[in-house]
Structure 1
Amino acid sequence: MDLQIALFLIQDGVVNGAIYALLGMALVLAFTVTRVIFIPQGEFVAWGALSLAALQAGKLPGTVWLLAIGGCAVMLVELWTAWRGRDWSGIARAAGWNLVYPALMFAAVHFIDFEQMPMAVQVLAALLIVVPMGPMVWRLAFQPVAESSVLVLLIVSVAVHVAMVGLGLLFFGAEGSRTPPFTEGGLELGGIPVPAQTLWVVGCSIALILALTVVFGRTLYGKALRATAVNRVGARLMGIPTSLAGRLSFTLCALIGAFSGILIAPLTTIYYDTGFLIGLKGFVAAIIAGLASYPLAAAGAVLVGLLEAFSSFAASAYKEVIVFTLIIPVLIWRSLSSRHVEEE
């Protein structure tokens, strides 16, 4: 291996690590706020990319049907909850988000020719379709068992992942899709050509990480999420509803996942189940951070990306094994260095 090959591998590792950093931060966010190890995070990666590809091809994305079906299911749950509690105050808002909004998105995608629209409009439309399904997943699958143990939440998370993979196959099919890059061209750094899409991936990842930092540090909703992550009972006593915190965290997870898929779609072909492996590598980064620290998750993601890149060069047949084996020493070290507390 000479210096030029090493620089190419470092470039690939940094690009992959930037995506893994976003997914790792999303997993840390979901776990700290809701105690859910959000395994379906990768499905939003695939759905975001495939929705954008469908819009660019002039087709109706399958996620539009999923949004409508999910909205109807959430509305039924809200009606049942309101009837049991004899409290109808939130039904109008629920109907707006779960019935009117999906209907408007369905009409917009059906009657507007997004194939001729600029890339930015297509990306925004894909996000508007996919992101609202994050809080829908929370309401249907996790909010009813929000106070259960972490093990129960993990089992539910696995079930949701299996269901979402099956729905992805049903609505998108087994064929893969790839989108054109945001911009053509690139630049040269140290004699190594850097495609423009690579710069988009790294730049957007850094910008999104900084935006999340501002949201958590400066906004009221961000502070509410931080309070819930630090002490759920204390946050509830201060009037912060944990259901709101769950919806916000799952909305951010869906946004991060869908946008990550849109970023990498020009670099690799995306299939209905591609996001699972990408999400698992983000999970490795989150494990390195102990499912608690955002900066450590980002650093762990870069480490995972570099390890994957160099492993693919030295032993391509075993690169996935090498990456996932990284979890074992990290878990052993954390098991030996942390104090064990029995959960009630």
Structure 2
Amino acid sequence: MDLQIALLLGQDGIVNGAVYGLMALALVLVFSVTRVIFIPQGEFVAFAALSMAMMQAGRTPASLWLLLALAAVVLAVEAWRAQRGATVDWKSTLLWCVGCPAGAGALVAMRPEGQALQALATLLLITPLGPLLYRLAYRPLARATVLVLLIVSVALHGVMVGLGLLFFGAEGSRTTAFSELRMDVGGLSITGQSLVVVGTALALVVAMFVFFERSIVGKALRATAMNRVGARLMGIPTELSGDLCFALAGLIGAVAGLLVAPITTVYYDTGFLIGLKGFVAAIVGGLASYPLALAGALLVGQLEAFASFWSSAFKEVLVFTLIIPVLWWRSLRSHHVEDEE
């Protein structure tokens, strides 16, 4: 390996690490607020990429039918809850079940031809899937153990993958790049799409930092993550916090899908591996620290890039093996007190 090859691998590692960093941020956000290890996070990536590809091919994205079906089911469930005397926030319900699907459907019906409008339509299609899935699958089990919520996530992942195969088929798709720029810096070829991926990821990370540090809603989410009961006693609607964090997870997954689609061919099940590598990065951060999760994502990206050069057949094994020393180190630093029988 010479210096030029090392630089190329390092560039690939940074680009991949930026995508895994977005996945890790979404996973840490959802887990800290709702205690859900959201395994289907990767499906947002695949659905967004394939929806964008279908729109660029002049077809109606199949994710629109999934969004409309989920919205109808959730609206029926909320009406049933209201009939039984439960308190229902109809403003947020109508936003996720009526407003967002109607906006997405109207934009898709216009057959947008510009890449910016197609990306906007994709974001409107995928983002509401987060809160709708939360209301349907997780909110009724809000007080369940982490293990039960994990089992629900595994089941939901299987359902989402099956729906992806049904809606999008087994063929892979790739979208056009957001930038065709190519430049040579010191013998290193840098593509515009790579700059778009890294720049968008950095912008989204900064936007999330400002959101959590400066806005009232962001501070409410942080309070819910630190102490859910205390936040409820202070008047923070924790159920709406779940809606919001899942919406952010859907938005982040959709952005990641748009960034990945021009780089690699995306299939209906591609999102699982992307989400799993993001989960490895989140584990490095202890499913609690955003900066450590981002650092873990860069580590995963670099490890994957250099492993693909030295032993491409075992690159996935090497990446997932990273969990073992991290968990071993954390087990040594943690102090558990066993209950007396």
Could you say which TM-score interval applies, normalised by the shorter chain?
Answer: over 0.9
In structure 1, C-alpha distance between the alignment counterparts of 2:291 and 2:41, rounded to whole Å: 19
Structure-2 change in CA distance of 1:101 and 1:329 (3 Å)? closer
Give the drift of 1:233: 1.0
Match of 1:69 in 2: 69
Superposition RMSD in Å: 1.5
Q: Deviation digits for residues 132-156 of structure 1, max 9, x if unmatched?
A: 1110010000000011100001001
Match of 1:3 in 2: 3
Structure-2 change in CA distance of 1:84 and 1:16 (3 Å)? same
SS in 1 for 2:189: strand
Match of 1:50 in 2: 50
In structure 2, C-alpha distance between the alignment counterparts of 1:120 and 1:276, rounded to whole Å: 26
In structure 1, C-alpha distance between the alignment counterparts of 2:107 and 2:28, rounded to whole Å: 34
One-letter amino acid matched to 2:173: S
Give the drift of 1:119: 1.2
SS in 2 for 1:194: strand
Match of 2:311 in 1: 315
SS in 1 for 2:48: helix
Match of 2:216 in 1: 220
Structure-2 change in CA distance of 1:93 and 1:32 (3 Å)? closer
Normalising by the residue count of structure 1, what TM-score does the alignment of the two structures yield? 0.95
Contact 1:79 1:91 in 2 (8 A): no
| Identical-residue share of aligned pairs (%) | 62
Contact 2:103 2:124 in 1 (8 A): no
Structure-2 change in CA distance of 1:33 and 1:97 (3 Å)? closer
In structure 1, C-alpha distance between the alignment counterparts of 2:338 and 2:90, rounded to whole Å: 40
In structure 2, C-alpha distance between the alignment counterparts of 1:99 and 1:315, rounded to whole Å: 50
Contact 2:130 2:247 in 1 (8 A): yes
One-letter amino acid matched to 2:328: I
In structure 1, C-alpha distance between the alignment counterparts of 2:111 and 2:183, rounded to whole Å: 33
SS in 2 for 1:308: helix
Match of 2:98 in 1: 99
Of 181, 186, 189 in structure 2, the residue corresponding to residue 190 of structure 1 is 186
Give the drift of 1:264: 1.0
Runs of 4+ in 1 over 4 A off after TM superposition: none
In structure 1, C-alpha distance between the alignment counterparts of 2:309 and 2:86, rounded to whole Å: 63
Match of 1:113 in 2: 111
Bigger mean CA offset, 8-17 vs 77-86: 77-86
Structure-2 change in CA distance of 1:56 and 1:260 (3 Å)? same
Contact 1:32 1:292 in 2 (8 A): yes
Match of 2:246 in 1: 250
Whether 1:296 aligns to 2:295 is: no
> 1:137-156 residue pairs with structure 2 within 5 A?
137-156=133-152
Whether 1:232 aligns to 2:228 is: yes
Gaps of 5+ in 1: none
In structure 1, C-alpha distance between the alignment counterparts of 2:274 and 2:90, rounded to whole Å: 37
Contact 2:37 2:150 in 1 (8 A): yes
Structure-2 change in CA distance of 1:156 and 1:57 (3 Å)? same
In structure 1, C-alpha distance between the alignment counterparts of 2:183 and 2:251, rounded to whole Å: 29
In structure 1, C-alpha distance between the alignment counterparts of 2:104 and 2:245, rounded to whole Å: 23
Give the drift of 1:91: 4.0
